[in-house]
Amino acid sequence: MIIELTKRQEQIIEIVKSEGPITGEHIAERLSLTRATLRPDLAILTMSGFLDARPRVGYFYTGKDSNQLIKEQVNKKIVKDYKAQPIVISESSSVYDGICTLFLEDVGTLFVVNNMGHLAGVVSRKDLLRAALGKQNLTDIPISIIMTRMPNIITCTAEESLLEAAKKLIDYQIDSLPVVRAVQNGNRTVFEVIGRVTKTTITKGFVEFGNEVTI
């Protein structure tokens, strides 16, 4: 979390910038305050990353400004902590099944898995709409025919930053990414679907971040 700095905290940063490494005792002397009075300020400044403290050496300036600290905080947001449940459908399902699942689960994208449970494709609402425009009976069209299939699926991992995932949504102009875990199947790498990142996920992360930062 990044906190709005008080005048005194700004003064401490200036002292540490020019005189660091400097002990808490000496900073207190320079400000004609007691060490105890300064303790909360020093705690805030080290927690938020402006200062660093080394035992027996003292405080020193990290050289990071607010922008850098905000950037670090943004990059700390990881897919794992925000991902939603993936909604998957079997490759052998019909387009009709897909449309029903989309409504029942209240999502915009379905992840299609093969009989081993591995990611085979993605079906979006427009894929389903397009299929529904035809004259064919929707129960007769396998979803595997209309899906975007592997290896053309854009994915992310649980360890990736939310920012990287958001960039993929923008770069590839898609609404959702399957969060995957790679597993070896013989000499082939296949993917298990363990989550879902959507524009809603990113928006939630953004709102949470906005509530944390008070600079």
Please give the residue ranges that form the binding site for ligand ADP (CB under 6 A).
109, 122-127, 148, 152-154, 173-177
Q: Are strands 51-54 and 148-149 parallel, antiparallel or unpaired?
A: unpaired
Q: Would you say 16 or 110 has its CB closer to ligand ADP?
A: 110
Q: Would you say 26 or 149 has its CB closer to ligand ADP?
A: 149
Cα separation, 212 vs 147, whole angstroms: 39
Residue 154 CB partners (closer than 8 Å, separation 6+): 168, 172, 174, 177
Q: Would you say 63 or 151 has its CB closer to ligand ADP?
A: 151
> Cβ(79)–Cβ(156) under 8 Å?
yes
CB of 44 to ligand ADP, least distance (A): 41
CB of 175 to ligand ADP, least distance (A): 4
Task: Enumerate helices (H) and strands (E) in the chain, giving the number of each.
Answer: 9, 8
Q: Would you say 32 or 152 has its CB closer to ligand ADP?
A: 152
CB of 19 to ligand ADP, least distance (A): 53
Residue 22 CB partners (closer than 8 Å, separation 6+): 15, 16, 58, 59, 60
CB of 160 to ligand ADP, least distance (A): 13
